[in-house]
Amino acid sequence: MKYTHTLTLLLVVLAISCNAPAPKEIMNKSLYERVAGLCPGPAKNDLVIYYFDGDCTMCLAKVRFIEQKLKNKNSIRPVFIAKTPNPASLEFNLHSLNIASCVYVEKDNEFEKTLNFLKIVKVDKDRSITNFENILHNY
């Protein structure tokens, strides 16, 4: 009987902790300003950042998909950052896919330690970071 109360208390604590919202992740101000400055646009816009492998065809297809989904969303600005040892090939592929958005080619792995590679995130004007991968499909 005495274990019933302990077990009940443990289950209540677990249920509450599972339903608690995750703490907001905030991008530091200098990184935000640096990334936002790569592809200039209205300051009030939220950013959708995709840091990707510029030699990956699936990644390039995702860039195209993101560009199409956000084409008429004036409040969101895509920022694409490519990691590639072959910028000329990337440029050719971007042109072939008719990708018109700004794509910044990373130099010396400058974002490797600060951005999530192969993840799509949305950063609002308050610098709050949201995983945008699943949301994008419903946009």
Residue ranges and CATH numbers for the domains of the chain are 25-137 (3.40.30.10)
Mean pLDDT of 41-49: 82
- Structure confidence by residue, pLDDT tens digits, 80-113: 999 999 999 999 999 999 999 999 999 999 999 9
Decide if 76 contacts 45 (C-beta within 8 A). Answer: yes
Give the model's pLDDT for residue 135. Answer: 75
CA 64, distance to chain mean position in Å, is 15
pLDDT over 70 for what percent of the chain?
79
Q: Which pLDDT does position 3 carry in this prediction?
A: 62
